Chain A
Amino acid sequence: MGQLGEVRTEQVRLFDHDSPLVLASGQRLSEVDVAYETYGELSPEKDNAVMICHALTGDAHAAGWHPGDRRPGWWDTLIGPGKPLDTDRLFVVCANLLGGCQGTTGPASPDPATGQPYGLDFPLLQVADFVTVHRALLAHLQIPRLLGLVGGSLGGMQVLEWTLSHPDEVENAVIVAASSRLSAQNIGFSAVGREAIMRDPEFSDGQYGARGTNPATGLAIARMLAHITYLSEEAMATKFGRRIQDAEQSGPGFGVDFAVESYLRHQGDTFLTRFDALSYLYLTRAMDWFEPFSEHDAAAVAAAGTRVLVVSFDSDWRFSTAHSRAIVRQLEAARVRVSFREVASPWGHDSFLLEVPDYHATVRAFLDRALDRSPAA
């Protein structure tokens, strides 16, 4: 397997004052920029495009290297020459979500009406809005139809929304470690994360950008909490156990006694350098309200002939196999061509980002089949 090498993030203005973005709620955004990356070549027939939908804190940089970085894109194990999403044969697109903070317009972006960051004046978003913006990106790239649409966690939820709302545009959909309806426990975790941010005095009612403050404490705590839900108990036991962080220094006290505490603190702190507290609020809220099967008839997916692959991980308790099975049940009952696998992996929800051989083999098999369709198809 080869490497993609150096890649770069592009940015394009897809909606402006003359053609504003109309959200599912009816509200409007008069300026929307989108950050995206592409890998591989679009075929002359434009029939080899695969769209990647990222998770809550992901970004457009899914694969390859940015100059000077110590790590490649977040899904580099899956995307590249000869990899399951084979860029020798596929044209892969990944874009930052609406409401995000890594190149696509979000609540920290300046409101064109005031020149100041939107803050809490930014309209509430739905997963359908992420789809609207990414469809506009594909129109800009002159891609009429996707050979594949792939996403994990929130990205998988976006894939599900997109497939249900526009099945004719999606030939093959891959939904990994996702949910079609968050549980009370899921919403509870999100709520605590949001509370940590909003109760941070530096949150300043969401106007921290204009006031020069930053709810770093709240955002770091939200990230630490969420990170625990991304790992299984077994994964944390394997990684840290009860290891003492520093046998010389860390006596019993209220500092960083255990290695796991150091790790979580590090996760919280590094998160601050790349994520915005308002984006965290807006994107988690969109997840809480997501309930696509109450809005769309899955029979349209069956009629379009779209094939769907749903994958869960047995140690994932953030979006457990039960969540994936619920998606499969709805699709299968509507006679959608759906395949499902529960992959054994000890790493919990995070497994979808890791190189789990059985998982990658499954995605590879599904997309290899998609690529060897007959000329008539």
Chain B
Amino acid sequence: MTTPSPVASRRRRPSRHLNLRDDLAVVADLVADGSRVLDLGCGDGQLVRHLERRHGCTGTGVEIDPEAVLRAIRSGVSVIELDIDAQLGEFGDDSYDVVVLSKVLQATRRPAEVLAQMSRIAPRCIVSVPNFGLWTHRWRLLRGRMPMSRQMPYDWHDTPNIHNATLVDLEEFLAEQGFAVEQRILFDAAGRVASWPDRLANLMSGAAVYLLARGDEAQRRASTTA
């Protein structure tokens, strides 16, 4: 696992993702210029718009919130309204270079199915998640309360996040799903890019972004069907 390099590259080019929300700037850094990008849960399309305008990418957003879809269309982003849990079959095999899933995995009904679809659609995936294992979350649980934080601001009874995981849980799960982690970028509890040694990552990170590559088996399957 190589964690430090993307952080360094961001610092060298602070204006590269001007006006882009911090977490999206990190995601944007992981997308190669000129890529074809599918952004699942694209919101108002900020990431796709940025990648198209500044990085020669072409992209499609997927969103289900009507107001966000309208804003994306108004800003010129191509957006397809569909349910990530049930309708990713609409996209063809290997029809994109990279699929982005920003802070959505924990809100899906069947995360394994979503990840399987993503790896079918593109050889690379970028997944960002909040970390349930953050020490303040653990502290709240010890005090008998459900965790809440900047990254997970919802009351237990009113949260879209139905599949919470710690980074350790998640990485185990990603490996089971056949993904290799190419890069991992950690965020502190305030949402700033941070770097900790591996043994502290699960305790200190409020969130993380993973650049994933399809595992060997998936690649072999792709090459035999091609």
Contacts and interface: CB of A to CB of B under 8 A. Distances in A.
Q: Are A and B genuine complex partners? A: yes
A339 B61 CA distance: 9
B82 to A, nearest CB: 8
A341 B90 contact: no
Contacts of B74: 365-366, 368-369
Interface in A278-336: 307, 309, 325, 328-329, 332-333, 335
Given A362-B70, A365-B73, A369-B73, A329 B78 contact: no
Contact of B90 (A329, A335, A342, A358): A329
Given A338-B60, A365-B73, A369-B76, 10 more contacts: A325-B90, A332-B95, A333-B95, A338-B78, A339-B79, A339-B80, A340-B79, A340-B82, A341-B66, A342-B81
Contacts of B73: 309, 339, 341, 362, 365-366, 369
Interface in A328-367: 328-329, 332-333, 335, 337-342, 358, 361-362, 365-366
A161 to B, nearest CB: 21
B81 A340 contact: yes
B50 interface: no
B66 A335 contact: no
A339 B81 CA distance: 8
Contacts of B91: 332
A337 B73 CA distance: 11
A329 B90 CA distance: 6
B35 to A, nearest CB: 13
Contacts of B76: 307, 369
A341 B75 contact: no
Contact of B69 (A325, A328, A341, A368): A341
B154 to A, nearest CB: 25
A328 B78 contact: no
A328 B58 contact: no
Interface of A: 307, 309, 325, 328-329, 332-333, 335, 337-342, 358, 361-362, 365-366, 368-369
Contacts, number: 52
B36 interface: yes
Please report whether the interface of chain A is mostly helix, strand, loop or mixed according to DSSP.
helix
30 contacts: A325-B90, A328-B90, A332-B80, A332-B91, A332-B95, A335-B36, A337-B58, A337-B78, A338-B60, A338-B78, A338-B80, A339-B72, A339-B77, A339-B78, A339-B79, A339-B80, A340-B80, A340-B82, A341-B66, A341-B69, A341-B81, A342-B81, A358-B66, A361-B70, A362-B70, A365-B71, A366-B74, A368-B74, A369-B75, A369-B76
From B75, B79, B81, residue with most partner A Cβ within 10 Å: B81
Contacts of A339: 72-73, 77-80
B92 interface: yes
Contacts of A365: 70-71, 73-74
Nearest to B80: A340
A30 B169 CA distance: 74
From B58, B66, B73, B82, residue with most partner A Cβ within 10 Å: B73
A338 B69 CA distance: 13
Given A365-B73, A365-B74, A335 B80 contact: no
B37 to A, nearest CB: 12
A278 B73 CA distance: 41
Contacts of A358: 66
A307 B76 CA distance: 9
Nearest to B73: A365
Contacts of A333: 92, 95
A36 to B, nearest CB: 29
Nearest to B58: A335
